[in-house]
Amino acid sequence: MGKHSIGEFEEVVMLTVAVLYENAYGISIKDEIENRLKRKVSVGAMRTALNRLEKKGFLKSQFGETTAVRGGKRKRYYLVTPEGKSALDQVKDARDQLWEAIPSVAFDFKFG
């Protein structure tokens, strides 16, 4: 898949960041994945994926304002970068090409 290779979980994280847009921070991303995909996500796995994607240049982050609710701690918000969008496009194109290449009989489950 070229220089924009990403794993399945990274793809899910990036797509979820895009879905949440300006409200994409660690816990909101985790909750959205768990709710939409009915898939448990550990905080550690989420942090690792977000850090890895940011190092690859596929996500960028910035801190929000401090809030009393969080004891003065700021949330780190994420956005997909143009490089991240390109990586997602490549993954989608590769998947689409595979789906289009499947002969119609491949899902004809009338065996023997």
Query: What is the band of 108 on the pLDDT scale with cuts at 50, 70, 90?
Result: confident
Domain total of the chain: 1
How many Å apart are CA 7 and CA 9, to the nearest integer?
6
23 in a domain, yes or no?
Answer: yes
72 in a domain, yes or no?
Answer: yes
Query: For the domain that residue 73 is a member of, what is the CATH number?
Result: 1.10.10.10
Of 77 and 73, the structure prediction assigns the larger pLDDT to: 77
pLDDT at 17: 98
Query: What is the band of 1 on the pLDDT scale with cuts at 50, 70, 90?
Result: very low
60 in a domain, yes or no?
Answer: yes
- Average pLDDT value for residue range 3-29: 92
Q: Is the pLDDT of residue 2 over 70?
A: no
Q: How many of the other CB atoms lie within 10 Å of CB of 87?
A: 25
Q: What is the pTM of this model?
A: 0.85
Range of the domain at 74: 2-95
63 in a domain, yes or no?
Answer: yes
